[in-house]
Amino acid sequence: DTLVQGEVFGTLRIMDSLESSLDAAPGEPIVVLLLNASGDEEVTNEQIKGVILAHDLPHLSHLALRARQQGLPLVACSWSDESALGEVRSLEGKRVSLLASQNDVKIAESSETPPAPSLDHNQPAVENSIEVAEPSVVDTSYAGQLLEEPYVSLELGGAKANACRQL
Protein backbone atom coordinates (compact mmCIF):
# COMPACT_ATOMS: atom_id res chain seq x y z
CA ASP A 1 0.00 0.00 0.00
CA THR A 2 1.60 3.29 -1.06
CA LEU A 3 1.24 5.96 1.60
CA VAL A 4 3.58 8.48 -0.08
CA GLN A 5 4.53 8.19 -3.76
CA GLY A 6 8.02 8.70 -5.12
CA GLU A 7 11.17 7.10 -6.47
CA VAL A 8 14.39 6.87 -4.50
CA PHE A 9 17.74 5.09 -4.65
CA GLY A 10 19.80 4.05 -1.68
CA THR A 11 21.38 1.23 0.27
CA LEU A 12 18.80 -1.02 1.90
CA ARG A 13 19.10 -1.26 5.67
CA ILE A 14 16.81 -3.27 7.94
CA MET A 15 15.77 -1.59 11.18
CA ASP A 16 13.58 -2.87 13.99
CA SER A 17 12.33 0.66 14.72
CA LEU A 18 13.16 4.23 13.74
CA GLU A 19 14.71 4.71 17.17
CA SER A 20 17.34 2.07 16.34
CA SER A 21 20.80 3.28 15.41
CA LEU A 22 21.52 3.42 11.69
CA ASP A 23 24.63 1.61 10.51
CA ALA A 24 25.58 3.69 7.46
CA ALA A 25 28.37 5.87 6.19
CA PRO A 26 27.76 9.60 6.67
CA GLY A 27 25.87 11.09 3.73
CA GLU A 28 24.98 7.68 2.26
CA PRO A 29 21.35 7.59 1.01
CA ILE A 30 19.39 4.86 2.79
CA VAL A 31 16.17 3.00 2.03
CA VAL A 32 14.89 1.42 5.25
CA LEU A 33 12.96 -1.82 5.63
CA LEU A 34 11.23 -1.00 8.91
CA LEU A 35 10.01 -4.06 10.81
CA ASN A 36 8.02 -2.27 13.54
CA ALA A 37 6.30 1.10 13.63
CA SER A 38 3.43 2.29 15.77
CA GLY A 39 2.71 5.25 13.52
CA ASP A 40 3.70 7.89 16.09
CA GLU A 41 7.32 8.08 14.89
CA GLU A 42 9.01 10.66 12.69
CA VAL A 43 11.83 10.19 10.21
CA THR A 44 14.46 12.58 11.53
CA ASN A 45 17.57 11.09 9.91
CA GLU A 46 18.24 12.97 6.66
CA GLN A 47 20.06 9.95 5.20
CA ILE A 48 16.77 8.02 5.04
CA LYS A 49 15.32 8.61 1.58
CA GLY A 50 12.51 6.03 1.63
CA VAL A 51 10.76 3.68 4.07
CA ILE A 52 9.29 0.23 3.46
CA LEU A 53 7.11 -0.87 6.38
CA ALA A 54 6.78 -4.61 6.96
CA HIS A 55 3.15 -4.21 8.08
CA ASP A 56 0.08 -2.09 7.40
CA LEU A 57 -0.19 1.47 8.68
CA PRO A 58 -3.12 3.92 8.57
CA HIS A 59 -2.83 6.64 5.93
CA LEU A 60 -3.52 9.31 8.55
CA SER A 61 -0.93 8.12 11.07
CA HIS A 62 1.61 10.65 12.31
CA LEU A 63 4.39 8.83 10.45
CA ALA A 64 2.48 8.88 7.15
CA LEU A 65 1.59 12.57 7.49
CA ARG A 66 5.18 13.57 8.32
CA ALA A 67 6.53 11.48 5.43
CA ARG A 68 4.04 13.17 3.10
CA GLN A 69 5.15 16.61 4.32
CA GLN A 70 8.81 15.66 3.77
CA GLY A 71 8.14 14.09 0.36
CA LEU A 72 9.60 10.83 1.66
CA PRO A 73 8.33 7.74 -0.19
CA LEU A 74 6.57 5.46 2.31
CA VAL A 75 5.01 2.08 1.59
CA ALA A 76 3.30 -0.38 3.92
CA CYS A 77 3.58 -3.99 2.77
CA SER A 78 1.52 -6.75 4.32
CA TRP A 79 3.16 -9.81 2.81
CA SER A 80 0.86 -12.81 2.72
CA ASP A 81 3.83 -15.14 2.42
CA GLU A 82 7.22 -14.80 4.05
CA SER A 83 9.09 -15.49 0.80
CA ALA A 84 8.38 -11.98 -0.55
CA LEU A 85 9.66 -10.42 2.68
CA GLY A 86 12.66 -12.74 2.47
CA GLU A 87 13.41 -11.49 -1.05
CA VAL A 88 13.48 -7.90 0.19
CA ARG A 89 15.58 -8.88 3.22
CA SER A 90 18.11 -10.51 0.87
CA LEU A 91 18.80 -7.06 -0.60
CA GLU A 92 20.14 -5.70 2.71
CA GLY A 93 23.38 -3.80 2.19
CA LYS A 94 22.81 -3.56 -1.57
CA ARG A 95 21.90 -0.51 -3.59
CA VAL A 96 18.17 -0.60 -4.37
CA SER A 97 15.55 1.47 -6.10
CA LEU A 98 12.17 2.00 -4.50
CA LEU A 99 9.41 3.08 -6.86
CA ALA A 100 6.17 3.78 -5.04
CA SER A 101 3.28 4.73 -7.29
CA GLN A 102 -0.43 4.83 -6.64
CA ASN A 103 -0.99 1.36 -8.10
CA ASP A 104 2.33 -0.40 -7.63
CA VAL A 105 5.40 -0.76 -5.44
CA LYS A 106 8.67 -1.93 -6.96
CA ILE A 107 11.77 -2.73 -4.93
CA ALA A 108 14.73 -3.89 -6.97
CA GLU A 109 18.50 -4.07 -6.84
CA SER A 110 19.89 -1.13 -8.75
CA SER A 111 23.24 -0.01 -10.02
CA GLU A 112 21.80 3.37 -10.96
CA THR A 113 23.04 6.44 -9.25
CA PRO A 114 20.76 9.44 -9.14
CA PRO A 115 22.11 12.38 -11.12
CA ALA A 116 24.29 14.62 -8.99
CA PRO A 117 23.58 18.34 -9.06
CA SER A 118 25.94 20.22 -11.34
CA LEU A 119 28.60 22.19 -9.53
CA ASP A 120 29.59 24.05 -12.72
CA HIS A 121 28.22 27.56 -12.17
CA ASN A 122 28.85 28.50 -15.82
CA GLN A 123 26.15 26.11 -17.03
CA PRO A 124 22.58 27.37 -16.90
CA ALA A 125 20.43 25.64 -14.32
CA VAL A 126 17.90 23.19 -15.68
CA GLU A 127 14.45 24.19 -14.55
CA ASN A 128 11.68 21.75 -13.86
CA SER A 129 8.82 22.29 -16.26
CA ILE A 130 5.24 21.97 -15.19
CA GLU A 131 2.47 21.74 -17.73
CA VAL A 132 -0.46 23.87 -16.69
CA ALA A 133 -3.88 23.49 -18.27
CA GLU A 134 -5.53 26.54 -19.76
CA PRO A 135 -8.10 28.04 -17.40
CA SER A 136 -11.64 27.27 -18.48
CA VAL A 137 -14.25 29.94 -19.03
CA VAL A 138 -16.78 29.97 -16.22
CA ASP A 139 -20.42 30.78 -16.96
CA THR A 140 -21.73 32.91 -14.07
CA SER A 141 -25.20 33.52 -15.53
CA TYR A 142 -26.66 30.97 -13.07
CA ALA A 143 -24.85 32.36 -10.03
CA GLY A 144 -26.90 32.00 -6.86
CA GLN A 145 -29.39 29.61 -8.48
CA LEU A 146 -29.88 25.94 -7.72
CA LEU A 147 -29.10 23.76 -10.72
CA GLU A 148 -30.61 20.33 -11.10
CA GLU A 149 -28.05 17.55 -11.35
CA PRO A 150 -28.44 16.82 -15.11
CA TYR A 151 -27.67 20.46 -15.94
CA VAL A 152 -24.45 20.76 -13.96
CA SER A 153 -21.32 21.07 -16.08
CA LEU A 154 -17.71 22.02 -15.43
CA GLU A 155 -18.39 25.57 -16.61
CA LEU A 156 -21.61 26.03 -14.61
CA GLY A 157 -20.98 24.18 -11.37
CA GLY A 158 -17.23 23.79 -11.12
CA ALA A 159 -15.02 20.72 -11.01
CA LYS A 160 -16.38 19.22 -7.78
CA ALA A 161 -20.05 19.53 -8.73
CA ASN A 162 -19.32 18.15 -12.20
CA ALA A 163 -17.46 15.17 -10.71
CA CYS A 164 -20.39 14.47 -8.35
CA ARG A 165 -22.80 14.59 -11.30
CA GLN A 166 -20.69 12.04 -13.13
CA LEU A 167 -20.79 9.69 -10.15
Beta strands in 26-93 (DSSP E): 30-34, 48-53, 74-76
- Is 59 annotated as catalytic? no
Residues contacting residue 115 through CB under 8 Å, at least 6 positions apart = none
Which residue in 116, 4, 119 sits closest to 60, CA to CA? Answer: 4
Ordered alpha helix ranges (H), the chain: 62-70, 82-89, 154-166
Angle at 91 between CA 85 and CA 97, to 5 degrees: 100
User: 30-34 and 74-76: which strand pairing?
Assistant: unpaired
- Given the residues 55, 59, 62, 121, select the one marked as catalytic: 62
The answer to whether 67 touches 52, Cβ cutoff 8 Å, is: no
Active site residues: 62
